[in-house]
Amino acid sequence: NAGVMQNPRHLVRRRGQEARLRCSPMKGHSHVYWYRQLPEEGLKFMVYLQKENIIDESGMPKERFSAEFPKEGPSILRIQQVVRGDSAAYFCASSRNSGGSTDTQYFGPGTRLTVL
């Protein structure tokens, strides 16, 4: 059973370009979470999605960032007009359900975004 998959693993963008990060959850999981880890800091929650629905985007910057989890295909985290401060590791996690006592989140390997 494959784990959470993310691609690309490394992404380099110049300031002003767009970054698209993809996440395929574990088989049987319909809940996806995105976290960001800035250099030398802990992971911070960004957004929680279910299929075709954004449940909570309270941790995501209101400008330039968007996320989706379509009916078919992976979840996408999109960052428009990237700036150097967006350089970070972006991790996706998935769970089978959410809110229950044992809905453990399993993380992917992350995408390391570098903005030049």
Q: How far apart, in whole angstroms, are the C-alpha atoms of residue 115 and residue 23?
A: 20
Closest to 18 (Cα-Cα) out of 64, 62, 68, 69: 64
Instruction: Tell me how far, at minimum, the Cβ of 87 lies from other proteins, in Å.
Output: 15
Stretch that binds other proteins, among 13-21, 62-70, 76-84, 96-104 (CB under 8 A): 96-104
Q: Binding to other proteins by residue 109, rule CB under 8 A?
A: yes
Residue among 18 and 56 whose Cβ is closer to other proteins: 56
Q: Which residue stretch of 14-22, 61-69, 74-82, 94-102 sits at the interface with other proteins (rule: CB under 8 A)?
A: 94-102
How far apart (Å, rounded) are the C-alpha atoms in residues 52 and 71? 6
| 50 counts as binding other proteins under rule CB under 8 A | no
